[in-house]
Amino acid sequence: MVTYEQRSALIQAAIEVRERAYAPYSRYPVGAALLLKDGRIITGVNVENASYGLSMCAERTAVFKAVSEGQQKILAVAVATENAGSPCGACRQVLTEFAGDVPVFLVDHEGNGRDTTLYALLPDHFGPEHLT
């Protein structure tokens, strides 16, 4: 269960980190924040590249950062964009690996948006449990 305070801190972190995004081609900066099992918040931004296929989304940047810091359990996700857009399919799949059906808060640059869950965004998901 994510508390109101955790939700607020997560959303604020995503909004603030969004300013660090490197998005000169799409001009669509994205900030992501993950609430980890240990209570920490890990953030990430989208980083674009002139060779577009080599770009990285904010959500995956945050997940890879969390894993590289020894954390593999995500309790909630916040994504901040200009218009409260949702994660792409690749990010949804990567999040599923470490999160399961967790709350996802999609907000615009002012904090307005909607709450959903990861499995609502990725129905009929494929995860580690399907490999056994």
**Which tokens in the block code for residue 21?**
């995004």
DSSP letter string over 16-53?
HHGGG-B-TTT----EEEEEETTS-EEEEE-B--SSGG
Residue 76 has pLDDT above 90, yes or no: yes
For the chain, domain boundaries: 4-131
Whether 59 sits among the annotated catalytic residues: the reply is yes
Summarised one tens digit per residue, pLDDT across range 33-74 is 999 999 999 999 999 999 999 999 999 999 999 999 999 999
Distance (Å, rounded) from C-alpha 18 to C-alpha 62? 12
- For the segment 106-116, the average pLDDT, to the nearest whole number, is 97
Question: For 4-131, which CATH superfamily applies?
Answer: Cytidine Deaminase, domain 2 (3.40.140.10)
**Which of the following is catalytic: 5, 16, 48, 59?**
59
